[in-house]
Structure 1
Amino acid sequence: MQKLYSSITIILIVFAFGNKAKAQAGVGATYIGDYSKMGGHETVNLELERGNWAYRLSNLKNARYTFTLTMKDNSTREVHSKLYADSANNRSYVMDDQKKIYCSQTRRISREDGSKQIIGIATDSCWLFKIVSGKINAYSFLSEGAGSYSVSALQTGTGVIQTFDERALEQMISNDPKAMKAFIKKEYLKAIEKFNADN
């Protein structure tokens, strides 16, 4: 009987020390929140960078505006909406009285910003708003500035508008050291603006 008690005692001691060692091995529960906060901004930026335009549209600042839509039949209608992403169909749309109006149903979209008119060209997937003009034009799927993560297309001069590609942009600006400095930091809009200013 004495041996049985001794064996049970040894097992309990080993079990207790084993659990204590496991608890100390990782980050304690009270610190998880702090570690999450430390990596949060970086993680969000990485997700935005890797996400497609629909993911980015859903996660970037996107205010409601009064937009004028020019439909395929050239009729116009006004809607007060923000821009939405239909991820399943890879298309953007606005809401008009509980009804979705997709970009592919329109020729263009526009809104007033003071004395300036902001125009979006309709494509099959989203509206493209010119956000930088010059030797390289940059287009966004948003009608307001939202930084590099909103760049969705590029155009050299009056050439064909092409989907934004990091490598293509790098080739366009590779001879401009100031632009490349911004590019390396993933500040794509700043890189394009610097290139345009220098060329």
Structure 2
Amino acid sequence: MKYFTYLAISIMVIAVISLFYLKKPDGQTWLSASLISNESQQVKEKVISLSSNALDQAVQGVKQAGDQIVNRISDEPAAANATSNGKIFKWQDETGQWHFSDTPNPHAKSIEVTLDPKDVTIIAAEDTSILNRIPKTLNTSSEQVIPSVFNPDSIKKLFQDTENVKQKLEKRNKEINNLSAL
């Protein structure tokens, strides 16, 4: 296989080199350095023109998107109210979760944070109440142990289950052998 590959590569190299010496009916060679240079220059010019056109279009698209975002932010009254004074208050609840608001928390010590309105991104709050619910399909009984390589009890149970399966298979094989002997 190795020699076949060498042979195939050698034949291809000889074929390409022969194009520099073989002549067309008009007396010109099939390939020449000037022809390759001209073709590569044309390809280079086409690539540059295509890439510069694509780059110009991308820049224009980004500019338009940026202008639209700025217009939307400046048109929204909620954004203007939240960032008009540039003050945001943050506080930490008993679980260590940080909360941010445009008004201080009356039940906890709030820290005032001054923000630049240009750097503020306002997004709608997500409904996280689904995270607090326990799925009905989850069985939280103490009997069910989720196997883990970090839990030695689950590894022991896994080996016991494997041994039980092995014993059942051996028992079934004996029954099959007894039936086939009859």
Category of TM-score, reference length = shorter chain: under 0.3
TM-score by length of 2: 0.28
Larger radius of gyration: 2
Query: Which has the higher relative contact order, 1 or 2, with Cα contacts under 8 A spaced 6 or more apart?
Result: 1
TM-score by length of 1: 0.26
